[in-house]
Protein backbone atom coordinates (compact mmCIF):
# COMPACT_ATOMS: atom_id res chain seq x y z
CA UNK A 1 0.00 0.00 0.00
CA UNK A 2 1.35 3.45 -0.87
CA UNK A 3 1.98 6.08 1.81
CA UNK A 4 -0.70 8.73 1.79
CA UNK A 5 0.33 11.16 -0.98
CA UNK A 6 0.46 14.89 -0.31
CA UNK A 7 -1.53 17.34 -2.47
CA UNK A 8 0.76 19.34 -4.77
CA UNK A 9 0.97 23.12 -4.44
CA UNK A 10 -0.34 25.34 -7.25
CA UNK A 11 3.26 26.08 -8.26
CA UNK A 12 4.21 22.41 -8.34
CA UNK A 13 1.17 21.70 -10.53
CA UNK A 14 2.13 24.56 -12.91
CA UNK A 15 5.69 23.23 -13.20
CA UNK A 16 4.50 19.72 -14.01
CA UNK A 17 1.83 20.87 -16.46
CA UNK A 18 4.51 22.76 -18.40
CA UNK A 19 6.03 19.36 -19.24
CA UNK A 20 2.74 17.75 -20.27
CA UNK A 21 1.36 19.54 -23.34
CA UNK A 22 -2.36 18.90 -23.82
CA UNK A 23 -3.03 18.31 -20.11
CA UNK A 24 -4.83 20.84 -17.94
CA UNK A 25 -6.30 21.15 -14.49
CA UNK A 26 -9.97 21.95 -13.98
CA UNK A 27 -11.96 21.45 -10.80
CA UNK A 28 -9.05 19.67 -9.07
CA UNK A 29 -8.84 17.12 -11.90
CA UNK A 30 -5.85 16.57 -14.15
CA UNK A 31 -7.37 16.11 -17.60
CA UNK A 32 -6.65 15.39 -21.21
CA UNK A 33 -8.82 14.42 -24.15
CA UNK A 34 -7.42 12.35 -27.03
CA UNK A 35 -8.83 11.74 -30.49
CA UNK A 36 -8.20 8.57 -32.53
CA UNK A 37 -8.46 7.33 -36.09
CA UNK A 38 -11.61 5.34 -35.12
CA UNK A 39 -13.43 3.59 -32.30
CA UNK A 40 -11.31 0.44 -31.93
CA UNK A 41 -8.02 2.31 -31.46
CA UNK A 42 -9.70 4.41 -28.77
CA UNK A 43 -11.10 1.30 -27.05
CA UNK A 44 -7.73 -0.48 -27.19
CA UNK A 45 -6.12 2.55 -25.56
CA UNK A 46 -8.63 2.18 -22.69
CA UNK A 47 -7.40 -1.38 -22.09
CA UNK A 48 -3.76 -0.28 -22.26
CA UNK A 49 -4.42 2.48 -19.73
CA UNK A 50 -6.25 -0.02 -17.52
CA UNK A 51 -3.13 -2.19 -17.47
CA UNK A 52 -0.94 0.78 -16.50
CA UNK A 53 -3.44 1.76 -13.82
CA UNK A 54 -3.32 -1.71 -12.28
CA UNK A 55 0.48 -1.57 -12.28
CA UNK A 56 0.52 1.85 -10.59
CA UNK A 57 -2.52 1.11 -8.38
CA UNK A 58 -3.89 4.48 -9.46
CA UNK A 59 -7.02 4.89 -11.56
CA UNK A 60 -8.46 7.67 -13.71
CA UNK A 61 -11.99 8.26 -14.92
CA UNK A 62 -11.95 7.21 -18.57
CA UNK A 63 -14.78 8.37 -20.83
CA UNK A 64 -14.88 6.60 -24.18
CA UNK A 65 -16.71 8.13 -27.12
CA UNK A 66 -16.70 7.09 -30.77
CA UNK A 67 -13.20 8.28 -31.57
CA UNK A 68 -12.38 10.21 -28.41
CA UNK A 69 -11.18 9.33 -24.96
CA UNK A 70 -11.26 11.71 -22.00
CA UNK A 71 -8.96 11.06 -19.04
CA UNK A 72 -9.53 12.79 -15.69
CA UNK A 73 -7.70 11.93 -12.50
CA UNK A 74 -7.08 13.10 -8.99
CA UNK A 75 -6.14 11.24 -5.82
CA UNK A 76 -9.09 10.04 -3.75
CA UNK A 77 -6.89 9.28 -0.74
CA UNK A 78 -5.66 12.91 -0.80
CA UNK A 79 -9.24 14.17 -0.54
CA UNK A 80 -9.68 14.49 -4.30
CA UNK A 81 -6.63 16.75 -4.75
CA UNK A 82 -3.90 16.42 -7.35
CA UNK A 83 -0.75 14.59 -6.27
CA UNK A 84 2.44 13.30 -7.89
CA UNK A 85 0.62 9.99 -8.48
CA UNK A 86 -1.70 11.75 -10.95
CA UNK A 87 1.24 13.16 -12.89
CA UNK A 88 3.00 9.78 -12.84
CA UNK A 89 -0.09 8.21 -14.43
CA UNK A 90 -0.41 11.05 -16.97
CA UNK A 91 3.22 10.60 -18.06
CA UNK A 92 2.75 6.86 -18.52
CA UNK A 93 -0.40 7.48 -20.60
CA UNK A 94 1.48 10.02 -22.75
CA UNK A 95 4.22 7.46 -23.39
CA UNK A 96 1.82 4.94 -24.93
CA UNK A 97 -0.59 7.36 -26.67
CA UNK A 98 1.34 7.75 -29.97
CA UNK A 99 1.36 3.97 -30.55
CA UNK A 100 -2.48 4.09 -30.54
CA UNK A 101 -2.67 6.93 -33.05
CA UNK A 102 -3.89 9.26 -30.31
CA UNK A 103 -3.65 13.00 -30.88
Ligand X SMILES: C[C@H](O)[C@H](O)[C@H]1CNC2=NC(N)=NC(=O)C2=N1
Min dist CB 40 to ligand X, Å, is: 26
Give the three-state DSSP class for 24: strand
Which residues, numbered 61-100, are part of the site for ligand X (CB under 6 A)? 73, 75-77
User: In the sheet that 29-35 helps form, which strands lie side by side, from edge to edge?
Assistant: 24-26, 29-35, 68-73, 61-64
Which CB sits closer to ligand X, 40 or 50? 50
Task: State yes or no: residue 32 binds ligand X (CB under 6 A).
Answer: no
Q: Which of 95, 69, 91 is nearest to 19 (CA)?
A: 91
Neighbours of 94 (CB within 10 A): 17
Task: State yes or no: residue 58 binds ligand X (CB under 6 A).
Answer: yes
Which CB sits closer to ligand X, 34 or 87? 87
Binding site for ligand X (CB under 6 A): 57-59, 73, 75-77
Amino acid sequence: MNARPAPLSAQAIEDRLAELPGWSVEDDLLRRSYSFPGHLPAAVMVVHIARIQQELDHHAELTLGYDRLAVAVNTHSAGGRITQLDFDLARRIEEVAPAHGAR
